C-alpha cells in the first residue's frame, strides 16, 4: 500500500470557507462591502470580517490583491 504524497503547506491553496468564496466572488464583480452585505443579507462588519480572513489566508493586504491571488491560485474563475 503506497502512501499518498502530500504537498508541503506552502504549495497547497488556502482553504476558504463557502462564505469567504461568496464574498470574494462578489468583490471580484466590483461590489462594495456594503453591496456584498446587502446581497448576502449580513452586516457590512461581517463582510469586512470575512475580507480580513481572506487577506490573511491569501497573504495580501487589499481586495485587488485578494482577487488576483485567488484567480492565480485557481480558487475563483476570471471571467
Q: What is the tens place of the pLDDT at every residue in 8-66?
A: 556 777 899 999 999 999 999 999 999 999 999 999 999 999 999 999 999 999 999 99
Interatomic CA distance for residues 27 and 8, integer angstroms: 29
Residue 12, sorted as left (phi over 0), alpha (psi -120 to 50) or beta, turns out to be: beta
Helices (H), 1-79: 18-28, 33-40, 44-58, 63-72
This prediction's pTM: 0.82
CATH number corresponding to 15-72: 1.10.10.10
Q: How many CB atoms lie within 10 A of CB 31?
A: 18
Amino acid at each position: 500500500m503506497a502512501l499518498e504524497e502530500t504537498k508541503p503547506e506552502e504549495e497547497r491553496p488556502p482553504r476558504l470557507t463557502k462564505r469567504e468564496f461568496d464574498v470574494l466572488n462578489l468583490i471580484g464583480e466590483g461590489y462594495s462591502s456594503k453591496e456584498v452585505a446587502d446581497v448576502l443579507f449580513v452586516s457590512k462588519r461581517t463582510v469586512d470580517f470575512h475580507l480580513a480572513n481572506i487577506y490573511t489566508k491569501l497573504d495580501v493586504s487589499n481586495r485587488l490583491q485578494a482577487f488576483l491571488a485567488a484567480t492565480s491560485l485557481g480558487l475563483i474563475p476570471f471571467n
